[in-house]
Structures are given as C-alpha cells and as structure tokens.
C-alpha cells in the first residue's frame, strides 16, 4: 500500500511540474507564432495555421507550430522560455505529385544536390560533417536526400532531381 501511494505521489508531482512549466512560459502563443512567421518571411495575413500547441519535451517548455502559405508547409519548434527556434522544417506541397521519371534522365547528380543544400544552409563543404547524399524515388518523383551536421545542428534536405528545387528541408538543434 505504501509503495503504490509513493508511486502515485511521484506521478502527481510530475503532473504538477509539467503544468507549472506551461504556466511559466515566458513567451505567449502569439509571440511564438510571430517568431515562426518572421523567420519564414511570411506575413501574418498570409499564413493559415493548422497547429499551435504548447508542450514539454525533456523538461523544456516549447511551442509546436505548423502553418501553410502558398504551396509551402512550415513546421517550427520554439523554446517557450527564450523564443529560440529549436527546429524548423519547410516542405513544398504539390497537388499533382505524380512525376514519373527514369533515373537515367536526371538533370543533376549527388554533387549538384549537395551544393544546392549547402548553399541554402549558407555553409561550405568543409564546415560540415557526416554528409550523406543519395537518390531515391518518393511519390513517383526522383529526389535527392541530403543530410549533414554542423556542430550540434542537423540539416536534412529533399531536392527534386530533375529541377533542383528544394522540396523540403529541416534544421534541428540536437
């Protein structure tokens, strides 16, 4: 009996501290949305929000924000205390994603895809480590997946193999 009471007590303390983290967030939901939109270069009246939630991850209060603008979907994770962007992701949304292309007609190679990703991240090849680039077919479209690290930040890109367009990217501090 004492053991189950102790376990229940510890679990209730976790709930209380989690609730306390929510209440103690230093930035508001609106401020978190503004940080995300400013980083994405989007005006508030152009964004269609689909998710704005506060959560606690590993003891850190954060906001998870998702919105659309034009044909792009943006995902942001923002520290609820500091307003620092923990991670963000940008994805092109195509309504007709059936691009059937054979791999021997590609307009690019691994080196070109890597250059596009590094240029977008404003980094040079000698500044990154664990660089990996490979070609795959996703939703009938040939893409290059490019992944690399700079210090403790992970970068992931999906690049259209035919056009060189960045279809999706994610940058996350680990």
Question: From CA 1, how far away is CA 81, in angstroms rounded?
Answer: 39
**Whole-structure pTM value:** 0.57
Asked if 161 contacts 142 with a C-beta cutoff of 8 angstroms, the reply is: yes
Strand partners, 56: 61
Helix (H, G, I), strand (E, B) or coil at 55: strand
- Residue ranges with strand state E in 6-140: 48-57, 60-69, 72-79, 85-92, 129-138
Q: Give the per-residue pLDDT at 117.
A: 96
User: pLDDT per residue over 54-66, tens digit each?
Assistant: 989 888 999 999 8
What H or E segment, with its residue span, contains residue 7?
helix 2-23
Q: Which residue has the tokens 């709930």?
A: 15
Q: Give the per-residue pLDDT at 107.
A: 61
Measured in degrees and rounded to the nearest 5, phi and psi for residue 45 equal -75, -10
User: pLDDT per residue over 68-109, tens digit each?
Assistant: 888 788 999 999 999 999 999 888 776 444 444 444 444 678
Higher-scoring residue by pLDDT: 99, 142 = 142
């Amino acid at each position: 009996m004492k053991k189950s009471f102790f376990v229940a007590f510890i679990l209730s303390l976790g709930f209380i501290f989690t609730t306390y983290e929510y209440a103690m967030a230093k930035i508001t939901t609106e401020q978190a949305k503004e940080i995300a939109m400013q980083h994405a270069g989007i005006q508030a009246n152009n964004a269609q929000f689909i998710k704005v939630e506060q959560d606690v991850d590993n003891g850190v209060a954060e906001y998870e924000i998702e919105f659309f603008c034009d044909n792009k979907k943006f995902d942001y994770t923002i520290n609820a205390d500091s307003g620092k962007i923990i991670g963000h992701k940008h994805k092109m949304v195509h309504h007709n994603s059936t691009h059937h292309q054979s791999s021997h007609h590609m307009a690019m190679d691994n080196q070109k895809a890597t250059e596009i990703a590094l240029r977008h991240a404003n980094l040079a090849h000698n500044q990154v480590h664990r660089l990996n680039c490979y070609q795959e077919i996703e939703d009938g479209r040939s893409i290059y997946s490019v992944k690399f690290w700079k210090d403790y930040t992970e970068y992931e890109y999906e690049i259209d193999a035919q056009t060189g367009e960045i279809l999706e990217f994610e940058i996350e501090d680990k």
